[in-house]
Chain A
Amino acid sequence: MPRSILERYGGFPFLSRVVMAFYDRVLDSDALAPYFEDVDMRRLIDHQTKFIAFLMGGPASYTNDHLRHVHDRLGIDEASFEVMISTMTETLEEFDMEAADISAVLAELRSRAPWIITAPGAEPAHAGA
């Protein structure tokens, strides 16, 4: 079995630095931080750890239902999702990940957009497909 992105970059020590950097960037971002103002820090970190581990092929699995469930009340719109994508890109670049690996992580993330973007009226036509 080929080794996952997470394994190749060193597992948890790498993941923890990425999550921490991403978390900081998100909460420093005027576009993104408001979404998480009322979210418990512990829950937010728990979710980010699992989700980023999952994006890198780590030991977590996320069903679309689960993703939809955790983002349901946040009402994230498409523009914010794009900001989140570029925040993630900057974070991964900061950690010297190879372009191919960054693309793989982002592609996985993008493929889950329909279950993350939960703003009313923003639901893409292919949601649930």
Chain B
Amino acid sequence: MDLDRFNRLLLESAGVGLALADAGSLAVRFTNPRFLEWFPGAQDAPLDELLAGIDVDRMRTRLDGGQAYRTDLELKVNRRSLTVAVDVTRHADEGADLLVVECQNITKLKELEYMVESYSKMVERQNRDLRKEKERVEKLLLNIMPRSIYEEWKEFGVTAPQRFDQAAVLMLDFVNSTEMDIAADPPALVAELNDIFTSFDRIVEQFGGDRLKTIGDAYMAVCGVPDPGGDDARNIARIAVRLIRYLQRRNASQANQWIARIGINVGPVVGSIIGVQKYVYDIFGPGVGLASRLEALSGPMEITLAEDLYDQIRDDVVVTERGEVELKGFGRKRVYTLDGMTDLDEGWLR
């Protein structure tokens, strides 16, 4: 086979579309079959007519500057969308000034590119959804355990129970809620309790405490668990005063009277996540038990504390002493009713 014939065969069967055009007039001088398949048209049509969509000015500027002109063209061949990469270079020698047009079918590349784009968008979206879901779960978990415990649990999968010698504990319950006519309007009652506990949470947070849990209409908060704060004893007393003040104000303008009693105490407790399937961060121990006994000693809208806490905050509180009382499990203790705090705005209860 001679070289000419070989070259012609190569041009005719190549997967690349090839054309030669006059650099000045853009008249097409030669096309191979592939080029005509993609850009059907008259044999002597100018290049810019065959290659609809090319930017002739830009092409001329680049070619005049000795650079190649490249562009992608979208075509429709036999119902199929094709993307063809067009590459035009200028070759001037032996008196001829010609443009060589080389076209490659990059449809598969484009298709893959679109596919990757589409898939990565899906994955991004999924990641966003997962992140949102994770935040939601985190928020839920932070409702049942303090953040530092949650961080520990997240990192290690377990949390070790911790002992706190000076946990400040507040127990509150409502003395009259059992008498309220819940049959009359249960949703309204729950809405009111929600409203009250939400306000309680804000007050507790304001003084660096944590609401641990509510059981029915009972409310329990701590200061210094799991992170001792230095002023936990005073803060628990401040919280107690503010809770009562809040209820006083609320009762003044509402039909339902919510009458609470509170016990506050400092003492040793153990804090831990309790439960395997249904877990909750909880504390227990003498510090909690005593707060609970003191709450039971409180009259309506009263705050009771014992000598353990009083001795720590005596300089900042005004109390009514109630003498020694036998407290089951704790022996005889001096107990006090808290009347107000000297270092707190609106810190007086009577």
Contacts and interface: CB of A to CB of B under 8 A. Distances in A.
A37 B78 CA distance: 10
Nearest to A53: B122
A45 B117 CA distance: 10
Given A41-B114, A42-B114, A59 B122 contact: yes
A41 B113 CA distance: 12
The CB with the most chain B CB atoms within 10 A, among A15, A34, A60, is that of: A60
A55 to B, nearest CB: 13
B112 A46 contact: no
Interface string A11-48: 01001100110010001000001100100011001100
Mostly, the B contact residues are: helix
Interface string B101-131: 0000000101110111111001101100000
Contacts of A45: 111, 114-115, 118
A97 B125 CA distance: 28
B123 A59 contact: yes
A23 B122 contact: no
A19 B116 CA distance: 11
Interface residues of B, number: 19
A53 B81 CA distance: 23
B122 A27 contact: no
Given A12-B119, A37-B79, A53-B119, A46 B114 contact: yes
What class of interface size applies to chain A in its complex with B? 20 to 34
Contacts of B114: 41-42, 45-46, 49
A15 B83 CA distance: 22
A50 interface: yes
A75 interface: no
B328 interface: no
A19 B108 CA distance: 12
B118 to A, nearest CB: 4
Nearest to B125: A59
Nearest to B124: A59
A49 B118 contact: yes
Nearest to B114: A45
A27 B79 contact: yes
A112 B341 CA distance: 69
Interface of A: 12, 15-16, 19-20, 23, 27, 33-34, 37, 41-42, 45-46, 49-50, 53, 58-60
Give 9 nearest A-B pairs by CB, closest first: A59-B126, A41-B81, A49-B118, A46-B118, A45-B114, A60-B122, A59-B122, A49-B115, A42-B114
Given A20-B111, A59-B126, A60-B122, 14 more contacts: A12-B119, A15-B119, A20-B115, A33-B79, A34-B79, A41-B74, A41-B83, A41-B111, A42-B114, A46-B117, A49-B119, A50-B122, A53-B119, A59-B123
